Structure 1
């Protein structure tokens, strides 16, 4: 369903308990409010406090897992920037991981990773947040780190760090904007939708020229203005107590000085007097038309009705746009969305056309489809479907402390009320059919829009209309910038030694999920666990088929079959199936992967019986209609043709072909080839289903708030499933390309180069054997943010947004792969540094300090492994897939604790033979050819199919 996920669910209103004497003042902070859970209602209980310096603190206690989530959200995003100074908020997201007075360079990531946690930061138009999820005994570490970069950052921000992160941001822009198909769509649409100077008229990541012009002092001024504690919310959710959190919050955050006062910005909706046409050429295959109508800001009284309108127009398979454009086969993709931010919003209509389509005709058809809404109207079923799906997706977000903490932080930041959930529920649940019709007339019908024609290079003849609007970008003579002279950095004063890193408490006891097993007479093996944190059930059925058991002549057939199984059954059309599932807030889908076909079923427990009736239809009675096959086949062929527009995909495909040899199925993309898919028939798909969609060898995983005795009778329909046993077809011996060479593919004009380095080995998946030990060995080479490869290429050199390496294996042998997208000017240098790090690690091994880090990180991260239903299902599935004993986790722990630096060194020497590796580069030949030819390797040019030219 194409709908925005809202941080709320259907629930009874929670009881808000205020202190009878008003806010309760304590030393250093004030208690503001407490929300408690009453009965079986679904609510996020919390306590809210405010430190004397203005920092808001929210604490949610959840003792179900030994995990804690810490979030610091600053009410500052790109909307707080100024004309000509774009990208500062996002730039600071990077800088705040670069160390502070008491945290050394690159130690923030290292400290959290060593503690067994995960972390990140994100920036959008309206806010920046930083977050960690860790074992609960590491709470103090997280608060120490977050407080240090809030209050003790600026003296540690050096020109060198500034330049490295500027290069990293440029690489990020290259990877996610310039080198990605349609990556510039949002940027150019917003330039036309919002007037010059509007905070949403520039991209969050910023413009390259403005990043180049920024100075270190500019960045420091931005921090001083917006990153004070009184413009932030600290949220702690998990296995903690409020008293514990507040003592630590007071200790670490209390001394930080209050920052300048910050006021909420007024809503600034876009206004258009007439249609604005703009166009853009890019290295794409499919012309795209997007029409954007100004709407409203987030939480405006009309937002909920607009969301439902966008779903009716372009949400699921019953929507107008799906029926008119996708089901009919006229267009490749069609969607409608209503993204709303704090200051403004817009409803966006997007059609992705087949090659050669004239977008003038597309615009006519798009407008006609919008007009059909008046004929169709709004039904009770429309509202029921939306609200049911809305309820289910929200409840599923409550399955993790991160999900609950994020909701609290968002509500507090944007409304000042962490308990805003009641109002949010009401505005969605109270939407009527009349409301939806009203907002259609007020914001869409006959209203001007921004129309973007996004076309392949050299095909401006396809645009909908000549450009009639040229945006003003950046600073002009009339631009007035803020004066930051009044701001000064006043370092906080402590009464303790902040340089002493806190010691964690005792490591928490991690309980591996208890589970039950079952084996059905038809061959299905099942495993499940009961969890009562949320009222949902997730069911996963996997079959050992997928791409691996295809032939090259029929490559892509499992993917097509899975797509066909999502297109209706003998008793339900695709639209009817979609409608019935949406009414329940449930999902049933089939997908195909490298070694499995998977059926995923998720539902609220109260709707399980009806959902399983529909799942039975999907599994046992697919319709396999000729018209659906023709449409999906056409889409598959276009997707295959489009792969050559994506440098990362070209590099991965070429590496596979060069590694396996052209006669091996794994050398061929799982989507198939033009030849294999073109030759495919519906009868082939039916034959594949009859042969391989069999219960023999199928694995069933169940996670939910029902016991074995409660759930198994509901799954009796699976006993009706029949089929024969089968094995994977035998594959030829590997016939990979000659190692020790660079295989280069030209992608003219590529903004970045894609690098792949690796080789095939004989390791199969073994969680307690050589494969597991190899993954331990690789962890410090390229398996985490602070690995040697990533620190070198990203943090020290600024060549990439991220570089990694890993060992991969399944039931069949895999191999080792190192990879990155790098700035094209540093292609040769990046390859050199990759090889330097791999060779050095193999020659010299790991240091004692690094090994201690690896052991701490991997040991303590186990606390995070079983929190959500998805994580529990993954654990159970591994047990079934590889016939593991439940105690394998304990064996892994013993291996990890006993492994020595000498053993790591021997593993590195054995499993990192660069002389056996092939090197693949996809990039702009004019830029990189000369440099890579100076590295001392034979350079072999290959074509887009991986064949040597």
Structure 2
């Protein structure tokens, strides 16, 4: 699990905010085509089909940015969009309903999100949990998401599985209500509560967005309640209320079915009509009103939370998605607070007054907000009131500074690259078509979206600043540590409106307006998969540079882009124990100033190219990821060379990076997942570097000097044994010619000689880590296990674990989530490196069922250890694992991961074939022997993070030793 940095937490929360964005953030896509729409009322593909009409066809031709598609309307109102993409043998199916939390009634919040869960619980012809099972064993992936304005369900599967996906989606659209039982309702209600606990109530700053929404929008406004809903609302309704909501909003006339990938149009049309054509229309749906939100004065509100640092968040109401002023407001947000080119970076972050500050402008169908936030650095002595003052001064500075040429260049470059990168997956293209249709009625909106950004002028940005920000009122939220109410920016002057809690009128079963499809189709019969399509492993080329860099690459011509991954053997495990975190500090410093320019100038140059260079630290390697439009590759590589070979190692940069790293660690300790992972890592290793987190500890980071970082760089950051993986539309000779600029990088670093002995730790013991007032408990159960390999015992153990905890339909998840409602998700995994491996079972569960959850974990692991898998589970595992290949190589990112594994472990590409043969031939006897070897519960440790005062009494009856464990 990734560590939760302070700004990572806020980025996640802003992502919740951005769930409501329905323009460029819906995975914008584009192709070099010319729009050639044809409005049609006939069906030119299959004249035998009735009940469906071709409305529009958009073709591709050079010079324009478009996703080619054909748009149809069924007689029942369902919109169908088809996009042909033969580049990979897969399809992506998306059903988007124009219903989100904004369609709910006051006092009945959370229904749309609740239905995101219920739609996976089986329908009249699909058994409980069968949807997950069928998609997984088809080799696919699936999910659903809900925001304020829409709910979507999607699957990516091998192309021969398309008909089965259409059958599944049609069954839950037209045959769900009768299958929704009180029991399913109760279980999923608990699951939603767990999700809220994990994502909001038990997360630092988790209540930020819903608090701002409550203060910003008037009572009863569709955005005044959170998408996930309030617990009291969920507790007050019953299954018939939920069914009534479905019947109101989930008709085919309020849905868009979008299919993209390797499809036969005639066959697909026939299958869509077959499965969806007889589903009756639902009630008519009108577009919601877009009432402007205007505040007469600043509204100061505050909350206390289990956080380390206070936060100030200022939110101005602006426009709505795709309003003519949206793009200019986005650019204004970028100038003020996006990255090292921003004014807030200059005025607050660079001088260490705050740990982080940023600005964003998320947009939704009915409203947008312009948000500025910052977290003061404890050492700066600045209060939230001080920071608010500096933010307001920064707005004045912008007004005087205006918009520069570079601001506009960056905006246009970022728009071009963002849209071009979106072309790299069929799922991205399908998502954009679906979103554009849902919110504009026009799937072909990409060019307009791009033009909105590329046509912005200085005058546009200054005008929107004056119209929506200058002198305007905002909601100003202070989040302060528990018991520190004196830290708020200003005294609260706004009282939150009373929530509407009138007991809702209960809906009886007789009042439900049921709709039933009538046809002669036997919908109980699961469609068989079509003939499998062969999956081609990317053609690989190998090369090297004289300085020892090994290079592995493949050509991918779908988009004019290049993705690179540099892996330098200078990661966490190369450090001394007392210097834990030094590799992480080095990665951060390589993202700072160079000998030629400061960090702001470097960021400016990269963003003007629309390029991204990210440097991160892992156990074995420092990883350098590069994404760029190929036309800008040479310029991007020049900047990369400067970043990694000419670091300035400025004292001021180091002071800021180091101080922020310490604050990051302190704030991470408010995250139960971080605490659990850190404790678990310590217990599985002896007192060495592997026992400590990659980002170090407060003590080790504090002790590291700039000279230490320089020395680590000089000793370990060398080209010999480094790896470079390339996925580009360029052929090998051309891209190798560009790589020669790294030929002057010389040197060889010491080999890693670390030994990781088995820990001397008491097993069969609960190690209890205290976290104040924790609404949930984080559980980790496991032991040291086998080292990583690609075709040996590690891989076979992965197959063994699959039925136990490796899939949604695994025993552990079905038990704890679907049967008991204890958690939002649970599972188990074997993970490993060349040096060590481990088995981990994990979940975050409701605090009041921590003991019961551990009991169920124990039961499932022990039963699997003793009796092993079943023949049915073996069959499921074989299908699921062996049919995934089509999804492994689709995008440049997926190709990079595939090639990186080959290069790191010295593999031949046919290791994929070897693995497939293992899946086909591994026996139940071998699976069960591996379970008996690796899953002895008596050899495992148990980590529990939660409120120790409450948990000790609860856990005592388990009969296991309990140790208070300190991080």
**Structures share fold, TM-score greater than 0.5:** yes
TM-aligned CA distance change 1:21 to 1:183, over 3 Å? closer
Match of 2:141 among 105, 108, 118: 118
Secondary structure in 2 matching 1:495:
coil
- Secondary structure, aligned partner of 2:789: coil
Give the equivalent residue in structure 2 for 1:709. Answer: 733
Provide Cα deviations, 1:701-758, integer angstroms capped at 9, x if missing partner: 0001010011100110121111223112434633342111111122121010010000
Q: Cα offset for 1:697? A: 0.8
TM-score by length of structure 2 reads 0.95
2:561/2:630 contact within 8 Å kept: yes
Matched-pair contact (CA < 8 Å) for 2:313–2:476: yes
Deviates more, 1:348-357 or 1:492-501: 348-357
Once the 2 structures are TM-superposed, how far is the Cα of residue 545 of structure 1 from its aligned partner?
2.2
Give the equivalent residue in structure 1 for 2:757. 733
Q: Which residue of 2 aligns with 1:201?
A: 224
Q: Secondary structure at the match of 1:439?
A: helix
TM-score by length of structure 1 reads 0.97
Distance in 1 (alpha carbons) for counterparts of 2:888 and 2:559: 18
**Offset from partner CA, 1:204-241 (integer Å, 9 cap, x none):** 00000000001111100000000000000000000102
- 2: distance between equivalents of 1:682 and 1:533? 44
In the alignment, which of 224, 230, 234 is matched to residue 247 of structure 2?
A: 224
Contact 2:120 2:129 in 1 (8 A): yes
Contact 2:755 2:835 in 1 (8 A): no
Listed as ranges, the matches of 1:267-278 within 5 Å are 267-278=290-301
What is the aligned partner in structure 2 of residue 17 from structure 1? Answer: 37
Partners of 1:113 and 1:23 lie apart in 2 by 34
- Residue 598 of structure 2 is matched in structure 1 by 573
8 A contact 2:26–2:432 mirrored in 1? no
Taking structure 1 as reference, are residues 113 and 478 closer, same or farther at Cα in structure 2, changes over 3 Å only? Answer: closer
Please, which moves more after superposition, 874-883 or 21-30?
21-30
Show the counterpart of 1:430: 455
Q: Cα gap change, 1:106/1:269 in structure 2, threshold over 3 Å: closer, same or farther?
A: same
Q: Could you tell me which runs of 5 or more consecutive residues in structure 1 were left unpaired when the two chains were aligned.
A: none
How well do the aligned residues superpose, as a CA RMSD in angstroms?
1.8
**TM-fit CA distance, 1:119:** 0.3
1:739 to 1:476, Cα distance in 2 relative to 1, 3 A:
closer
2:918 paired residue number: 895
Q: How far 1:5 sits from its partner (Å)?
A: 3.7
Tell me the distance in 2 between the aligned counterparts of 1:710 and 1:353. Answer: 48
Deviation at 1:427, TM superposition (A): 1.9
Match of 2:521 among 474, 490, 496: 496
The answer as to 2:784 corresponding to 1:764 is: no
Matched, 1:622 2:642: no
Corresponding residue for 1:142?
A: 165
Q: Which moved more, 1:768-777 or 1:922-931?
A: 922-931
Q: Deviations over 1:179-216 (max 9, x none)?
A: 11100000100000000000000000000000000111
1:603 corresponds in structure 2 to 628
Q: Given that residues 617 and 623 in structure 2 are in contact (C-alpha distance below 8 angstroms), is that contact kept between their aligned partners in structure 1?
A: yes
- In structure 2, the CA distance between the partners of 1:484 and 1:833, relative to structure 1 (3 Å rule), is closer
Q: Distance in 2 between matches of 1:587 and 1:484?
A: 56
The CA deviation at 1:42 is 3.7
1:280 aligns to what SS in structure 2?
strand
Equivalent residue number for residue 21 of structure 2:
none
Select the residue among 648, 667, 676 that pairs with 2:691.
667
Alpha-carbon distance in structure 1 between the residues aligned to 2:28 and 2:141: 25
* Structure 1 residue 637, shift from structure 2 partner: 1.0
Alignment of 1:686-725 (within 5 A): 686-725=710-749
Deviation at 1:339, TM superposition (A): 0.5
Change (3 A) 1:435 1:11: farther
Pick closer, same or farther for the CA change 1:301–1:487 going to 2, 3 Å: farther
- For the residue of structure 2 that corresponds to 1:571, the secondary structure is coil
Listed as ranges, the matches of 1:387-426 within 5 Å are 387-426=412-451
For residue 669 of structure 2, what is the aligned residue in structure 1?
644
Tell me the residue number matched to 1:859: 882
- Indicate the SS of the match to 2:499: coil
Look up the SS of the partner of 1:192 in the other structure: helix
1:589: Cα distance to partner? 2.4
Residue 243 in 1 paired to residue 263 in 2? no
How many angstroms does 1:546 deviate by?
0.9
Equivalent position to 1:336, from 359, 366, 369: 359
CA 1:212–1:911 in 2, change beyond 3 Å: closer, same or farther?
Answer: same
Residue equivalent to 2:906: 883
Take 1:21 and 1:667, find their aligned partners in 2: how far apart are those partners?
67
Give, in whole Å, the separation in 1 of the partners of 2:368 and 2:149.
12
- Residues 76-155 of structure 1 aligned to structure 2 (within 5 Å): 76-155=99-178
Conserved 8 A contact 1:47-1:242: no
Question: Aligned to 1:274, what secondary structure does the other structure show?
Answer: coil
Tell me the SS of whatever aligns to 1:464: coil
State the shift of 1:484 in Å. Answer: 11
1:364 aligns with 2:389: yes
Whether the 8 Å contact between 2:158 and 2:886 is mirrored in structure 1 is yes
For the 8 Å contact 1:545–1:728, the answer to whether it is kept is: no
Q: Is the 8 A contact 1:752 1:821 kept in 2?
A: yes
Q: Deviations over 1:510-565 (max 9, x none)?
A: 11111100122211110000010111001111012211111111110011011011
Range with bigger deviation, 345-354 or 116-125: 345-354
Query: Is the 1:82–1:481 contact (alpha carbons within 8 Å) kept by the matching residues of 2?
Result: no
Q: Distance in 1 between matches of 2:682 and 2:41?
A: 72
- Correspondence for 1:182: 205
Residue equivalent to 2:705: 681
Structure 1 residue aligned with 2:776, among 743, 749, 752?
752
Which segment drifts farther, 866-875 or 16-25? Answer: 16-25
Distance 1:10 1:416, change over 3 A: closer
Q: Does 1:532 align with 2:557?
A: yes
How far the C-alpha of 1:358 sits from its partner, in A, is: 2.2
Cα distance in 1, alignment partners of residues 863 and 756 from structure 2: 34
Question: Which stretch shows the higher mean deviation, 672-681 or 854-863?
Answer: 672-681
CA contact (8 A) 1:13 1:422 kept: no
Distance in 2 between residues matched to 1:67 and 1:552, nearest whole Å:
47
**Structure 2 residues not aligned, in runs of 5+:** 1-10, 19-23
1:242 deviates by 1.9
Work out which of the residue numbers 836, 840, 845 in structure 2 matches 1:817. 840
Q: Is the 8 A contact 1:168 1:799 kept in 2?
A: yes
Tell me how far 1:23 sits from its aligned partner: 7.9
Q: Residue in 1 aligned with 2:683?
A: 658
Instruction: Give yes or no for contact 2:92–2:154 (8 Å, CA) kept in 1.
Output: yes
**Alpha carbons 2:826, 2:842 under 8 Å: kept:** yes
**Paired residues of 1:221 and 1:484 also in contact (CA < 8 A):** no
Instruction: Check conservation: 2:43, 2:52, Cα contact below 8 A.
Output: no
- When the two structures are aligned, how many residues end up with a matched partner? 942
CA displacement 1:389-417 (0-9 Å, x = unmatched): 12112111111110000000000000000
- Write the distance in 1 (CA, Å) between the matches of 2:347 and 2:240: 54
Measured in 1, the distance between the counterparts of 2:404 and 2:31 equals: 24
Match of 1:68 in 2: 91
Deviations 1:846-894 (A, max 9, x none): 1111110000000111111110001111111111100011211111111
In structure 2, the residue corresponding to 1:332 is in which secondary structure? strand
Say if 1:255 and 1:21 are closer, same or farther in 2 by CA, change over 3 A.
closer
User: Does 2:75 correspond to 1:52?
Assistant: yes
1:6 shift after superposition:
6.3
Cα 1:185/1:485, change in 2 over 3 Å: farther
- 8 Å CA contact retained: 2:304, 2:482: yes
Structure 1 CA distance for aligned equivalents of residues 545 and 466 of structure 2: 56
- 1:590 matched to which residue of 2? 615
1:807 & 1:303 partners in 2: Cα distance?
46
Distance of 2:511 and 2:848 partners within structure 1 = 41
CA distance in structure 1 between the aligned counterparts of 2:56 and 2:831, rounded to whole angstroms: 50
Query: For each residue in 1:556-579, what CA deviation from the matched residue of structure 2 results, as whole angstroms up to 9, or x when unmatched?
Result: 001101101100211121111111
